[in-house]
Amino acid sequence: MLTCDHPLSPDRYNDRVEDHLRVTEFYHASQIGVVQNQKALVNALIERWHPNTHTFHLPIGECAVTLEDVALILGLPTDGLPVTGMTMSSFSALEAECLLQFGVAPRKSECRGCCIKLTWLRELKENMQLTNELSIQRYVKCHIMLLIRTILFGDKSGAGVHWKFLPLLRDFASIGHYSWGHLYRGLCRASRYNCKEIDGPITLLLGWAWIRLPYLSPLPRELHSFPLANRWRNWERGDRKYRYLNLAHFRKAFDEFLWVAYAVDRVDPNIIPPEIYM
């Protein structure tokens, strides 16, 4: 069975930067709390994943995570530019990018290969004085990098975030122009026979399964919370038995698949912000 250690505790932010977070479109994702993993369910889904079509093959047919799912489950923009760019392994390039974005750079001991340690980013963020526009933007960029690691593009180490995302944050006003929802790469890699671990947006995958296949979900704790991932924030506190359901249980459950859409009786339209509808 694949290991998929997740999640990390969410990073909080100073209330003074809320308006800036809204400009970047990361405000809603910042509200997502701890959504505990169900490893057997994730493994059962990966068994059904076909990388050639980027879809889950279930008894009733094919289905996939959609942009609508990304917008509602994570509260992220989905109609923007693709999150793409060059990946460089040079420490000097990492150092130069951090100096440009934050005014300081980590030492080699504060990095792991191409990843900046989360401890360095958290310390930088916590010690930042929010005295002017530049310092507020730097603070928000630190927060976004931490969100990328904990919510969006988690890696297996749990210790750092790849610095390749930093160039996308250079122009503060353009951060919200990207489509930050992402899933396929992690699932395609995890579906290989020799893969032992999965990374990527596990919160999105779990939220998709629990909303689209509600008979597979633990008991929701916050039905009127947005983003929809927060329905299952700290679900273990109210449904501890669900944690121990095994792979065989979920394999059998897929035979009872019934697609459930975002109907008004299941998702209150009044909790969805206007910018998400747009």
Whether the Cβ atoms of residue 166 and residue 97 lie closer than 8 Å to each other:
yes
Does 25 reside within a domain? yes
Confidence of residue 256 (pLDDT cuts 50, 70, 90): confident
Distance CA 215, CA 211 (A): 9
pLDDT digits (tens, 9 = 90+) for 83-132: 877 777 789 999 999 999 999 999 999 999 889 999 999 999 999 999 99
pLDDT, residue 265, reads: 65
Mean of all residue pLDDT scores within the chain:
85
Mean pLDDT across 51-58: 87
Return phi, psi of residue 8, to 5°: -95, 155
Mean pLDDT across 196-223: 84
User: Beta strand 160-162 with 55-58: parallel, antiparallel or unpaired?
Assistant: unpaired
Does 207 reside within a domain? yes
Does 9 reside within a domain? no
Does 4 reside within a domain? no
Does 97 reside within a domain? yes
Does 5 reside within a domain? no
Distance CA 37, CA 236 (A): 9
- pLDDT above 90 covers a percentage of the chain that reads 44
CA nearest neighbour of 235 among 44, 67, 77, 41: 41
R_g over Cα of the chain = 19
127-133, long-range: CB within 8 Å, 24+ apart, which pairs?
Answer: 130/14, 130/16, 130/17
62 pairs with which residues across the strands?
57
Whether the Cβ atoms of residue 35 and residue 81 lie closer than 8 Å to each other:
no
Range of the domain at 141: 15-276
Does 215 reside within a domain? yes
pLDDT, residue 193, reads: 52
Distance CA 67, CA 71 (A): 6
Does 3 reside within a domain? no
Whether the Cβ atoms of residue 146 and residue 121 lie closer than 8 Å to each other:
yes
pLDDT, residue 181, reads: 67
Distance CA 187, CA 180 (A): 16
pLDDT, residue 183, reads: 56
Whether the Cβ atoms of residue 25 and residue 76 lie closer than 8 Å to each other:
yes
Return phi, psi of residue 136, to 5°: -65, -40
Confidence of residue 152 (pLDDT cuts 50, 70, 90): confident
Question: pTM here?
Answer: 0.87
Number of domains making up the chain: 1
15 or 1: which carries more pLDDT confidence?
Answer: 15
Confidence of residue 74 (pLDDT cuts 50, 70, 90): very high
pLDDT digits (tens, 9 = 90+) for 19-49: 999 999 999 999 998 888 898 998 899 889 8
Whether the Cβ atoms of residue 156 and residue 197 lie closer than 8 Å to each other:
yes
Return phi, psi of residue 217, to 5°: -95, 155
